[in-house]
Structure 1
């Protein structure tokens, strides 16, 4: 049974941190900032009188989207386990977890420096992106993803806490794949094939929300990007994370035609580094149906429960047309390569 979590209010933060023994003797909360952009809960950035900074995040049962979309708020504790596991594998790419409160579904973790922004922000706002090496970010993410997948493939004990796919079903498969299946019943065969692969394959750890909005990047070179938001981590099909990031970069390439070559090159760099860094079985699994899975996710971001807000009506039509052409093709992988390849030449 899902038990609804109450939203965390800013004025509760000092008392909460003190009760969880996260403040040192004599230390107090100096500043609390509500972070915008999340759909799954309330997130605050907290600064203390000693200059330390935390992120405090509470998961909610009703997600902040237009559609009726619910998920168990206990996913916060699931996220805490994932942060611990992946920080141990790639501490340079994952923040440190400080606390997980099972009573309120609230976690507290390390905060990135204040001048770090999401990669989504950097990609969509080129005037603030001077000095940002998007290809380097993509390669770093590909290497981190490969480490997670490769390590958990070869160490099954690491997979045990993440065997349950129910959150992935509630937050991805249902609002994405099943939603577009209802809108596009003529594409049911290709969508169902993708659903079956995602549900039936349990090969390695999958982040499940591997997108630019969940990547924090420094303002200049020299530090690795962080990956955040691990609520839907599960053991599943390695293609999902690769397709998810690919779909986001394709949408941004369509949205920013003047920077299309740069963004398409960034996507290519991500795929090349990923394929170089993973084991053969992962490489095969993640690339054999990458076009079809990417097309499903593209269609989900225009006709699913969580549409990409930055796309214009014309851009949504372009994304929709590309995805439909791939999913309706007798050769989705060939169609995807041809369509995205022609896009890169524009």
Structure 2
């Protein structure tokens, strides 16, 4: 891998060769591609294909990630693949702070941004998929469970933010690079500013605000699509936050806004869940604010509006909303970005829309 680098897409054969050489995988092991991501090639390796010593510590297998230089989006979106090194450092940092909330890093390639992490049990599911596709009334969508997940994530995120404020103690790769600009503020804020000129100036200001901040370690992709959860009915809730490619020293407002915006989009997509998802939103906010005062209400509102607008008119757009729903979300986003609304008011609007569609 170190010979050919990551200018192109790494093949499964190339990755397998590195893992065999590293003593992780048997020579005849198999890598099964995992679908769904736009920024990486991802493979799963079953435990049976691991060498004995590794299999004993990773009974559910392993997951391998290799970042792409050109992301899989309709509009051209390129980013430095060195973000793979940042992700490895961030996951190790989060693992020390909250060991049960992230997968364990198993191996890192010494020269290339190739990362191997423990795999979750196959019974675990992506939280976004549950919210979008699970049957209404199913245990996955029970209000108590949604609130428990929201509380867990709010507490976890607050811990990460508060306990990484000593930025000088963080690895250099997390304190440098242009991941925030290339993966967030340019394709989100500045691209959306061109599409929605009414809020363009404020979006550009919010982008600069994020880029200038040096408050703590920021995950950068704190979204339901990156949350894996165990099945309902388990003795205790299990939830992992994945995909820390955008991790950087910056503004904690990005993380709380990113999560809040995506939860709102799910509530718009499934109006029958709006009430339960609002409770989950409130549980997340309460848990975060109990442990952290780093983001005030005004900034939480405005930055959430920026992410909402970006998911409708930026480079990376949600694909599960109807044109009418997109227009609704964009209107709410403009209110928030302009400082003319609050998240509570946005969720009141979501509830009124849901009642009309009932």
Deviation string, structure 1 residues 20-65 (Cα, Å, up to 9, x no partner) = 2223xxx455543211111111000111425641101111101011
The aligned residue for residue 143 of structure 1 is 155
8 Å contact 2:260–2:304 — kept in the other structure?
yes
CA distance in structure 2 between the aligned counterparts of 1:110 and 1:121, rounded to whole angstroms: 21
Q: 1:224 Cα deviation (Å)?
A: 2.4
CA distance in structure 1 between the aligned counterparts of 2:345 and 2:45, rounded to whole angstroms: 48
8 Å contact 1:83–1:97 — kept in the other structure?
yes
1:304 paired with 2:314, answer yes
Partner of 1:99, secondary structure, is: strand
Residue 284 of structure 2, aligned match among 254, 258, 270: 270
Q: 1:138 Cα deviation (Å)?
A: 1.1
CA shift in 2, pair 1:286/1:114, >3 Å:
farther
Deviates more, 1:98-107 or 1:133-142: 98-107
The aligned residue for residue 195 of structure 1 is 207
Q: 1:197 Cα deviation (Å)?
A: 1.6
The aligned residue for residue 338 of structure 1 is 345
Deviation string, structure 1 residues 203-241 (Cα, Å, up to 9, x no partner) = 111100000111111112414200110111111111110
The aligned residue for residue 118 of structure 2 is 110
CA distance in structure 2 between the aligned counterparts of 1:188 and 1:6, rounded to whole angstroms: 35
Deviation string, structure 1 residues 51-107 (Cα, Å, up to 9, x no partner) = 641101111101011111100111111111111111111110011111112544211
8 Å contact 1:7–1:41 — kept in the other structure?
no
Partner of 2:71, secondary structure, is: coil
CA distance in structure 1 between the aligned counterparts of 2:314 and 2:11, rounded to whole angstroms: 30
Partner of 1:326, secondary structure, is: helix
- Superposition TM-score, scaled by structure 1 size: 0.90
8 Å contact 2:180–2:211 — kept in the other structure?
no
8 Å contact 1:122–1:128 — kept in the other structure?
no
CA distance in structure 1 between the aligned counterparts of 2:28 and 2:64, rounded to whole angstroms: 13
Q: 1:185 Cα deviation (Å)?
A: 2.1
Deviates more, 1:226-235 or 1:122-131: 122-131
The aligned residue for residue 41 of structure 1 is 40
1:96 paired with 2:108, answer no
The aligned residue for residue 7 of structure 2 is 5
CA shift in 2, pair 1:327/1:128, >3 Å:
closer
The aligned residue for residue 87 of structure 1 is 95
CA distance in structure 1 between the aligned counterparts of 2:206 and 2:159, rounded to whole angstroms: 24
Q: 1:344 Cα deviation (Å)?
A: 3.4
Deviation string, structure 1 residues 136-158 (Cα, Å, up to 9, x no partner) = 11111111111111111257413
8 Å contact 2:106–2:117 — kept in the other structure?
yes
Partner of 2:122, secondary structure, is: coil
8 Å contact 1:92–1:226 — kept in the other structure?
yes
Q: 1:118 Cα deviation (Å)?
A: 0.8
8 Å contact 1:162–1:234 — kept in the other structure?
yes
The aligned residue for residue 221 of structure 2 is 209
1:254 paired with 2:268, answer yes
- Superposition TM-score, scaled by structure 2 size: 0.87
1:289 paired with 2:299, answer yes
- Count residues in correspondence: 334
Partner of 1:21, secondary structure, is: coil
CA distance in structure 1 between the aligned counterparts of 2:135 and 2:287, rounded to whole angstroms: 27
Pairing of 1:218-229 with structure 2 (within 5 A): 218-220=230-232, 221=234, 222-229=236-243
